[in-house]
Amino acid sequence: MTQTPLQASVAYAHAHTDAFIEQYKELLRIPSIGADPACRADVRCAADWIAAEMVRLGLDHVQVLETEGQPAVYGDWLHAGPEAPTVLLYAHYDVQPVDPLALWVTPPFEPDVREGKLYARGAVDDKSGVFLHLKALESVLNATGKLPINAKIIFEGEEESGSPTMEPFIRAHRDLLNADAVVISDGGSSTEIPEIGASVRGIVTAEVHVKGPDRDLHSGGFGGVVHNPTHMVARIIAALHDDEGRIQIPGFYDAVLPVSESARAWIEAEEPNAIEEARKEVGTKPFWGVPGYSYLERATAQPTCDVNGIFGGYQGSGTKTVLPAEAGFKVSMRLVNNQEPADIAAKFLAFVERFTCETVDIEARIISSGWPAEFVTTGPIAQAAIDAYAPTWGHAPKMSRGGGSVPIVGMFQHVLGAPVVSLGLGHGGGVHSPNEYYNLSYFDKNVDTAIHFYFNLVRG
Amino acid sequence: MTQTPLQASVAYAHAHTDAFIEQYKELLRIPSIGADPACRADVRCAADWIAAEMVRLGLDHVQVLETEGQPAVYGDWLHAGPEAPTVLLYAHYDVQPVDPLALWVTPPFEPDVREGKLYARGAVDDKSGVFLHLKALESVLNATGKLPINAKIIFEGEEESGSPTMEPFIRAHRDLLNADAVVISDGGSSTEIPEIGASVRGIVTAEVHVKGPDRDLHSGGFGGVVHNPTHMVARIIAALHDDEGRIQIPGFYDAVLPVSESARAWIEAEEPNAIEEARKEVGTKPFWGVPGYSYLERATAQPTCDVNGIFGGYQGSGTKTVLPAEAGFKVSMRLVNNQEPADIAAKFLAFVERFTCETVDIEARIISSGWPAEFVTTGPIAQAAIDAYAPTWGHAPKMSRGGGSVPIVGMFQHVLGAPVVSLGLGHGGGVHSPNEYYNLSYFDKNVDTAIHFYFNLVRG
């Protein structure tokens, strides 16, 4: 009985599982922390490793492309003919910092297998996205001599830093990256049921510094006559919300649309489970939020404005009666549907500007931003992704509407104008935490999912 | 021509200036930082050094007395007869911490003379008060065989920590410390004109912690559904003042009296000079304060409420989109005339209590407190102090109404019921800062001032 190309590809992958996992450890050993200037050479080393692997696979136009930040790796295989779709496969090879290092059972860049789990920083977020696509492509190419689709592959090196220089990069390489759809493989699942992304919130982060006297003063000598910068910081933060949590930045909600039908249905279905999961993370205190919305509506479909840190003056034990020279705060705002990062950034800066006075200097600056985005979840390309899981997992994937932000999604949508589909590969836990691990019992399933997805794109 | 006892005492002192200064270095070498647990043995060592010196001088009842905190050193000489006044001489032998150590030209506990200045931590604040009284007493005793007054001497070891355990100590030793007047020699002058204290503000310091989720959360996952502790901190701080700086703690101003005649006269006379001096410290920004009061009224005769530090969440560079588990602030309130520390402490705690809610825990606690106090500036004992300067300085002292707090003053007033007089000894700068120094060209003048004061108490 002759195997189909799909069957042959899957058989090839399964025959090489052990070799693939050994090779994966090579990539995991490279400490490609994109946010750490000390790892700059390691990030480059990871990019080179990936490019060499692409060449070995027989991809064309393989290149390590410079950005204003960390390099991106590109390769393509465009010989499937004009009838086949062209898809841009995206993952990122940079990883989160490893602090607190002391909590790791084994060093984060010395991959270690314990009880079927492969422990290493980046094992699921997101070297798995990089490596599983490479191994799926290799399996199809080696088993069948070709791909069913035209594939462009772009692997980013600064996603964990908020992709600060990727928007101009995509704009500059618009033709190279242009595709019928973009496939985001960032992270994976942590439960028995695979997940597929439906939406992410946008983001604007900012920092505000309030400067008073030239140096810290004695609160006895100058209390009452010198404006205290911590008081101004508190005034600004307190004015950000009303007593029930509504954001008071003028015009902040202007572009927020009513929750869509599909989001509403998802929220209603997922609400009980989401609350139960969140309860495990948060502790025992009641949840909080603007009245009139459900838990998941607040967590995924409403915008937020959260101070991430406040600082100023003496923070040690006991008392130091100082009137601080300076104080400040950091803030992240999560955006939904029609809110535009540039518009919200301008409104935040205008809001802070209102507090201008002669007795302290107030400096506000935007640090990073990203668009809110809806993934495409209907139509043939989305269906190809959805149907890629059941054959090996035994389950259709759950939709996931995320409260977090993946700025690259909005960049692809806005700059390329292409639909963006989520295809999570990898399975594990400890993402952004110590002892990140990949669950090796899912390795075959994850490669299979990618292979099925490629073939699903050309079925019928 | 026979010398008077005063003249003989001064002559003795002047004949021993070099020896005194060499001996002073011994005391300055002992790192008696009362607030630093690592210096506990050194603080004890300084107390023992002083007690040994008292014994050598021929004082009676010399003892190192335990407190709940750092030891106090006591000695007396009570042989001047019932007609002579009994005065309690007070100074403190503990010193400020030395941070930032890197800014010291020579190590803080290796006394070094450069251009007539003796550099060492505590050189003026306040080992000078301790040592100059000891040397003045030694000069009078050795030159005349007796003192003109009955003297009790108490040297404290925890003043720089706010004298946290001195009130129960004074209460427990009320009979031992009882006197016709208490003389506070803490610090000294920094200009050509000697200063004598007229008032200090009281103080209450407190700390507030706001606790939310069990650990830091991702602001994407939990923004909008978990109450952010930094927002509550900002709400509390912002509510402490109205937009013009008036303190909003209910009842805070209830016990504030109109400025006294003598304070008003002092304020009007000193205002221009005070503003000029403050301008050097503060930088170029305009001063600030509650409308309707002059600069010095705000700085010395009105109460304050200043946040000394705020903290919570991420304070590093760039962005970390965390929803912090905890945040807080430290605050110092300066009190005037009839305000009672316990009453203000209770009102502050009640104010914070109003913010109680189910979604975060708010914990407030009082750290330290001290009474506002007026020094006695009229009557024979105060006049003895005032007249002690002119013979050697060539100037009468200026009155100084301080914005800071010296809790021990109010303790002596409230527990002993005794009038408290200020007699600043020492001359120098760098108090509470790196490179503290004693101006040695004033050493003789400072010993002379103490000697004149003792004799002035029994004149005419």
CA–CA separation, A374 and A376 (whole Å): 6
Q: What is the mean pLDDT of residues B387-412?
A: 92
| Token pair of A185 as six digits | 């493989």
Element (H, E) at A328: strand A326-335
- Whether chain A has a CB inside 8 Å of the CB on B416: the answer is no
SS3 A122: coil
Q: Tokens 């002083």 sit at which residue?
A: B50
pLDDT of A460 above 80:
no
Q: Which residue(s) pair with A311 in the sheet?
A: A328, B311
pLDDT of B1 above 80:
no
Q: Which has the closest alpha carbon to B312: B292, B296, B328?
A: B328
CA–CA separation, A364 and A328 (whole Å): 9
| Token pair of A192 as six digits | 């028995």
CB-nearest partner of A312 from B201, B310, B322: B310
Task: Give B183's pLDDT tier (boundaries 50, 70, 90).
Answer: very high
Q: Identify the CATH number of the domain defined by range A5-200+373-456.
A: 3.40.630.10
Q: What is the mean pLDDT of residues A348-359?
A: 98
CB-nearest partner of B314 from A228, A231, A330: A330
pLDDT of A438 above 80:
yes
Predicted-complex ipTM score: 0.88
The CB-based long-range contact list for B165-169 (8 Å cut-off, 24+ gap) reads: B165/B67, B165/B68, B165/B69, B166/B67, B166/B69, B166/B72, B166/B407, B166/B408, B166/B411, B167/B411, B167/B415, B168/B67, B168/B68, B169/B65, B169/B67, B169/B68, B169/B72
Q: Do B224 and A322 touch (CB under 8 A)?
A: no
Q: Which has the closest alpha carbon to A437: A130, A187, A197?
A: A187
CA of B211: how far to CAs of A129, A441, B23, B231, in Å? 37, 40, 52, 11
Helices (H), B85-165: 127-144
HSE-up (13 A, CA, CB side) for residue B73: 23
More confident residue, A19 or A1: A19
| Residue A34 falls in which region: left (phi positive, over 0), alpha (psi -120 to 50) or beta | alpha
* Encoded amino acid at B366, one letter: I
- Whether chain A has a CB inside 8 Å of the CB on B238: the answer is yes
| Residue A314 falls in which region: left (phi positive, over 0), alpha (psi -120 to 50) or beta | beta
CA of B165: how far to CAs of B33, B161, B207, B345, in Å? 16, 10, 19, 17
Which part of chain B has CATH 3.30.70.360? 202-256+303-370
CB-nearest partner of B308 from A320, A332, A334: A320
> Cα dihedral sign for A312, A314, A320, A326?
negative
| Token pair of A66 as six digits | 């410079």
pLDDT at B361: 98
- Whether chain B has a CB inside 8 Å of the CB on A397: the answer is no
pLDDT tens-digit readout, B128-162: 999 999 999 999 999 999 999 999 999 999 998 88
Å between B428 CA and nearest CA of chain A: 18
pLDDT tens-digit readout, A239-269: 999 999 999 999 999 999 999 998 999 999 9
pLDDT at A15: 98
- Whether chain B has a CB inside 8 Å of the CB on A2: the answer is no
pLDDT of B11 above 80:
yes
The values of phi and psi at residue B251, to 5°, are 80, 5
Which part of chain A has CATH 3.40.630.10? 5-200+373-456
Å between B5 CA and nearest CA of chain A: 41
Which part of chain B has CATH 3.40.630.10? 5-200+372-456
CA–CA separation, A160 and B244 (whole Å): 43
Q: What is the mean pLDDT of residues B101-114?
A: 95
Q: What is the mean pLDDT of residues A230-239?
A: 98
Chain B residues with CB under 8 Å of A225 CB are 278, 287-289, 295, 298-299
Burial of A457 (0-12, 13-18, 19+ CB in 10 A): buried
| Token pair of A409 as six digits | 């999604």
Q: Identify the CATH number of the domain defined by range B5-200+372-456.
A: 3.40.630.10
Task: Give A17's pLDDT tier (boundaries 50, 70, 90).
Answer: very high
Q: Thinking of the domain B202-256+303-370, which architecture would CATH place it in?
A: 2-Layer Sandwich (3.30)
